[in-house]
């Protein structure tokens, strides 16, 4: 790799992590990856929100390492949304921030446009890191509706994880 290419990538990452007040907050550290049970609970909350509003989408949940735990493509969703949902979830877990943060930076223009060259970063709302006890344990990405609607559905995943499990869920959960 050429020195100029390395310097260019370093400059882009400097912008991503320090130059904008939108993302100046401290990022949570990584934790133990999300379990399948929690991923399914997350997906159930997101699916309920999508169905309630009549939005058919693809929902992807990744673990803390960016690997797929589950992917759900609702009926009638264009197949391109599968890749986009994955990319949004990957961006959220890799950079430990909402993809909406990057979306807002790009919209502002100027140095925020450099984000468009960052490998693995998708600056479109609909991706959220999944944080538990202050640690990123995974990410969710949603695609198929408008970006704002995708973000609303992704937030429903996080909301579902904040709710107390039902007695049946608690009984079925493996001991940790």
Q: What is the pLDDT along the chain (176 residues), one digit of tens a residue?
A: 554 554 445 444 444 444 444 444 577 899 999 999 999 999 999 999 999 999 999 999 999 999 999 999 999 999 999 999 999 999 999 999 999 999 999 999 999 999 999 999 999 999 999 999 999 999 999 999 999 999 999 999 999 999 866 555 555 554 43
pLDDT at 127: 98
**Helices 80-95 & 99-108 angle (0-180, nearest 10):** 90
Q: How far, in Å, CA of 26 to CA of 45, rounded?
A: 27
> Which pair of structure tokens corresponds to residue 59?
């929902």
Q: How far, in Å, CA of 73 to CA of 47, rounded?
A: 10
Domains of the chain: 3-172 (3.30.450.150)
Cβ neighbours, 10 Å, residue 166: 9
pLDDT at 167: 54
Q: pTM to 2 decimals?
A: 0.81
Q: Is 19 exposed, middle or buried (0-12, 13-18, 19+ CB in 10 A)?
A: middle
In our burial notation (b when 16+ CB lie closer than 10 A, e otherwise), range 64-99 reads bebeebebbbeeebeeebbebbbbbbbbbbbbbbbb
């Amino acid at each position: 790799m050429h020195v100029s290419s390395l310097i260019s990538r370093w400059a882009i990452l400097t912008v991503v992590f320090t130059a904008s007040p939108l993302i100046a907050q401290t990022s949570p550290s990584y934790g133990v990856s999300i379990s399948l049970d929690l991923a399914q609970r997350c997906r159930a909350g997101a699916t309920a929100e999508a169905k309630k509003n009549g939005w058919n989408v693809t929902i992807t949940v990744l673990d803390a390492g960016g690997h797929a735990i589950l992917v759900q493509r609702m009926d009638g969703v264009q197949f391109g949304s599968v890749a986009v949902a994955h990319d949004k979830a990957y961006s959220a877990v890799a950079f430990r921030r909402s993809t909406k943060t990057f979306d807002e930076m790009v919209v502002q223009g100027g140095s925020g446009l450099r984000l468009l060259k960052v490998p693995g970063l998708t600056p479109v709302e609909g991706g959220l890191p999944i944080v538990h006890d202050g640690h990123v344990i995974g990410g969710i990405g949603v695609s198929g509706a408008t970006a704002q609607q995708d973000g609303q559905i992704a937030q429903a995943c996080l909301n579902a994880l904040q709710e107390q499990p039902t007695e049946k869920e608690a009984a079925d959960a493996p001991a940790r």
